[in-house]
Structure 1
Amino acid sequence: MSTEITTDRLALRPVAASDAGRITDLVNDPRIYRMVSRISANQTVAQTLAWISSHEAGRVDDTKHPYAIVADGELVGVTSAHRDGTWLPFEIGYWLSPERWGKGLMTEATEALMGWLKQRGERSFISGYLDDNPASGRVLEKLDFMKAGRMNIFCLGRGEMVGHVNMARID
């Protein structure tokens, strides 16, 4: 069900097993794993491959659509939509190589993913960001998400509870 998506500067394609080494290298940067609740510190290639191996079933049952973000021929991040069941809105998540921060790439990539989902009839999305990651909040604001509450969540990379801002978008 997933397909390739292109923008002016980016190609989004399903994450592949061959991406495991590059993804593992990138997410082991504390600037990434400390800001994404579901990425542990010191992630191994085996853990990355286990995550990737779950994607095909998720694509088939329309609950998981992770995309590699490719810029200038290089994987620079991931944007994804996932949900526990097809009756729920997709949760949008993402991370980007710190060397690519501040150039609007994440907004562009995630907007393209959400556009693809909207073409398929999706109208509601949820997401959020950790309190000390306001740049992620700005991405969501640019994508017309609105604040919908606050809570504490467990961050694997930090090994502790952290403040989280919940956001939602309904078209």
Structure 2
Amino acid sequence: MFIRSERLFLRPGWPEDWEELLGVIADEDVVRNLASVPWPYTAEDARSFIGLPQSHRYPRFLITRPDARGACIVGCIGLDRAEGGAELGYWIARDHWGRGYATEAVRAVVGLAGAMRHTRVVAEHFVDNPASGRVLEKAGFRRTARVVERFSKGRGQACPARTYELALGPSHACGDAMRCKRAA
């Protein structure tokens, strides 16, 4: 499965991507904001992640930015199972922070979630990473009143995480490719 947005190309990881993936995620400031990624992040972690089976209902994508030299990896995004819907997770490499890539990728995956008939998408961010909350809010997520303790492999401990949700209705089901591209 592939998604094209205005500036980005979201695609599955391929075996030959592990080295580039390692180069962009092997940054403690990136990993500390993630729940399921260990620190230090190793070559074996990258190969293992790339080799994970894909789910048609809960896909995972490398976020790439095409240019004249090819398409470099700028991050990762995906959906996972969650009670009553799907959980969104994402990260952007430090060299690409502040350019709107996270918001653009989140909007694209939310459009896909609607097309896949998910009715609700949830997400969390550690409270000391408010930039992630701004990304979610720009993509239409609403803050819930809950802050939960979530374990971070990168930090090696549980930390408070703010919860968000987005109810999806017929307007998110992108059967029209042009409307979907505009929404992304």
TM-score (norm 2): 0.83
Q: CA deviation at 1:104?
A: 0.8
Question: Given residue 22 of structure 2, which amino acid in structure 1 is its aligned partner?
Answer: T
Q: Distance in 2 between matches of 1:26 and 1:160?
A: 23
Which residues of 2 match residues 13-28 of structure 1 at below 5 A?
13-28=11-26
Q: Which of residues 131, 134, 153 in structure 2 aligns to 1:135?
A: 131
Alpha-carbon offset, residue 157 of structure 1: 0.7
Structure 1 vs Structure 2 CA RMSD: 1.5
Other structure's SS at 2:75 match? strand
Residue of structure 1 in register with 2:73 after alignment? 75
Q: Distance in 2 between matches of 1:55 and 1:68?
A: 14
Aligned to 2:92: 96
Higher Cα radius of gyration: 2
- Structure 2: gaps spanning 5 or more residues: 169-184
The offset of 1:127, in angstroms, is 0.4
| 1:153 and 2:147 correspond | no
| Matches of 2:165 and 2:21, distance apart in 1 | 27
What percentage of aligned pairs have identical amino acids? Answer: 27
Compute the displacement of 1:170 (Å).
0.8
* Matched letter for residue 18 of structure 1: E
Is residue 130–residue 163 contact of structure 1 (8 Å, CA) maintained in 2? yes
Instruction: Tell me the alpha carbon deviations over residues 18-73 of structure 1, each in whole angstroms, 9 at most, x when there is no partner.
Output: 211121222220111011111111122222222232233x23xx2x3111111131
> 1:1-171 counterparts in 2 under 5 A?
3-56=1-54, 58-59=55-56, 62=57, 64-71=58-65, 72=67, 73-83=71-81, 88-148=84-144, 149-171=146-168
